[in-house]
Amino acid sequence: MIEIISETKCISCNQCVSVCPTNVFDRVQDGIPVIARQSDCQTCFMCELYCPVDALYVAPDSEGLTLISEAQAEGEGLLGGYREKVGWGRGRQPVASHAFMYELAKRTSF
């Protein structure tokens, strides 16, 4: 579930509020958004992917909270890790066009 919105990184663009399919966040006047309905989170990672400044962290556990701290997530390089793998962000190549996609298809039947 979504566990972290970094106060230091968040620029209040509210993209996460918009893209969350299950409306987990709330906008805050003159502030950064809040996780208002955490139990509605379906752990789809879309908010994290759309965050332009890597301020969000969705913990992998869809059933309960891991209570990871921002410092720990930051230290392990987790903030923005998914976005990097998908290849979104300036100067990155989308994973969709990765040569391995075709290499994998040649060897399997997916």
Partner 1 sequence: MSEKTATGELRLKTDVLVIGGGPAGTWAAITAASGGAKVVLADKGYCGSSGATAPSGTGVWYVKPEEKMREEAKQSRFALGGQLAENGWMDRVLDRTYANMNKLGEWGYPFPLDDGGNPYKRGLQGPEYMRLMRRLVQKAGVKILDHSPALELLADEHGVGGAAGVRTQAGGTWRVQAGAVVIATGGCAFLSRALGCNVLTGDGYLLAAEAGAELSGMEFSNAYAISPTFSSVTKTAYYKYASFYYEDGSVVEGAGSQRGRSIIARNLQSGRQVYARLDQAPEDLRPLLRVGQTNFFLPFDRMGIDPFADKFPVTLRLEGTVRGTGGIHITDETCATKVPGLYAAGDAATRQLICGGFTGGGSHNAAWAMSSGSFAGEGAAAYALKLGSHAADRNVGGLSSAPIAAEGHTVGDSAKSAAATQEAVRAVQAEVQPYSINLFRTEKGLNESIGRLDGIWNELKGRDVARTTEGVKAREAAAMTATARWMYHTAIARTETRGMHKREDFPTLDEAQHYRLISGGLDDVYVKKESVTKEAVTG
Q: Residue ranges of the alpha helices (H) in the chain?
A: 15-19, 46-50, 70-75, 81-86, 99-107
Q: In terms of DSSP bridges, do strands 56-58 and 2-5 run parallel, antiparallel, or are they unpaired?
A: antiparallel
Tell me which residue has tokens 């989308």: 94
* Contacting residue, 11, 36, 65, 104, with partner 1 by CB under 8 A: 104
Q: What is the DSSP secondary structure assignment for residue 40, as one 8-state letter?
A: G
Residue 82 tokens, joined: 């998914």
Pairwise CA distance, residues 62 & 85, whole Å: 20
CB of 107 to partner 1, least distance (A): 6
- Residue 43 as a binder of partner 1 (CB under 8 A): the answer is yes
Q: x/- string (CB under 8 A) for partner 1, residues 49-88?
A: xx--------xxxxx--------------x--xx--xx-x
Nearer to partner 1 among residue 29 and residue 97 (C-beta): 97
Residues in contact with partner 1 by CB under 8 A are 17-23, 40, 42-46, 49-50, 59-63, 78, 81-82, 85-86, 88, 94-105, 107-108, 110
